[in-house]
């Protein structure tokens, strides 16, 4: 079976069983493992009538490839998916306080996983990614996200620019992160319906994505010029999301 049909690691498997048990077909745990977290996973899986097998370490290595499995993997029938048609309902359910993370072409699965982890921790309404020129939620993303891929809606869209315009019609203000922008992230109001738009690792925001933002902002970085030129996209996502959290709590 392909690696994409498996999720690996204690946090990722535990989260899948907790939040999306209906799609977990089987759990395999390293035979003889004494980690109490693995015992807990086994008990939770059996409680939900999910098949559990104790297997040799080599069997786990065989299905995960180069993923570090921590003694447990789960076979996944299908990830919970959200489409463009779900965005309106998600925004409306947030009742004027929607917080969206829009990622324009993030291609490293570890970066996407880290972004999802920050989004889940910040209580984001959804993460929006394009279907093309962007990594999708795969086994590595799930592992890196430490379960966040099963708790925050990830909406994969065909046309990102069009989706951004639809979000604006729903009353969502879109702020793009750009290092050259004059306005500071800390100077804008992030308390209402807001989408934070970040570009990919190599090229940042694409032209159409920039043009469909309501404004461009930058993260003040006093260290630029002292060997630091920019932030990793997952770090920038964390900074922007938690500035919104800070404002919403004040």
**Strand pairing category for 99-104 and 126-130:** parallel
Confirm whether residue 219 is marked as ligand binding: yes
CA angle 57, 27, 3 (to 5 degrees): 70
Task: With H, G, I as helix, E, B as strand and everything else as coil, classify residue 178.
Answer: coil
Confirm whether residue 241 is marked as ligand binding: no
Tokens of 77: 């029938």
Contact 49, 22 (CB under 8 A): no
The kind and range of the H/E element at 247 are helix 233-249
| 3-state helix vs strand vs coil in the chain, percent to 5 | 40, 20, 35
Of 76, 75, 98, 101, residue with least CA distance to 88: 98
Looking at the DSSP bridge assignments, the partners of residue 174 are: 195
Confirm whether residue 60 is marked as ligand binding: no
Tokens of 109: 């699965």
Contact 40, 92 (CB under 8 A): no
Question: Residues at the annotated binding site for S-adenosyl-L-methionine?
Answer: 199, 219, 231
Question: Residues at the annotated binding site?
Answer: 199, 219, 231
């Amino acid at each position: 079976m392909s690696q994409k049909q498996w999720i690996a690691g204690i946090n990722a498997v535990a989260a899948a069983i907790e939040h999306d048990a209906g799609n977990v077909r089987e759990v395999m745990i390293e035979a003889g493992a004494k980690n109490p977290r693995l015992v807990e996973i086994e008990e939770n899986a059996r409680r939900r009538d999910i098949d559990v097998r104790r297997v040799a370490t080599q069997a786990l290595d065989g299905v995960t490839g180069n993923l570090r499995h921590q003694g447990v993997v789960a076979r996944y029938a299908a990830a919970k998916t959200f489409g463009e048609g779900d965005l309106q309902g998600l925004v409306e359910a947030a009742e004027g306080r929607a917080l969206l993370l829009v990622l324009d072409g993030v291609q490293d699965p570890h970066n996407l996983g880290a972004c999802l982890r920050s989004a889940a921790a910040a209580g984001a309404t959804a993460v929006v990614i394009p279907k093309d020129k962007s990594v999708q939620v795969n086994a590595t993303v799930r592992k890196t996200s430490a379960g966040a891929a099963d708790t925050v809606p990830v909406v994969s869209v065909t046309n990102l620019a069009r989706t951004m315009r639809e979000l604006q019609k729903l009353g969502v203000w879109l702020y793009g992160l750009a290092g050259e922008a004059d306005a500071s992230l800390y100077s804008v109001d992030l308390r209402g319906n807001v989408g934070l738009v970040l570009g990919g690792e190599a090229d940042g925001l694409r032209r159409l994505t920039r043009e469909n933002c309501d404004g461009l902002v930058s993260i003040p970085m006093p260290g630029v010029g002292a060997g630091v030129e920019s932030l990793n996209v997952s770090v920038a996502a964390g900074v922007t999301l938690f500035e919104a959290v800070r404002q919403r709590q004040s």
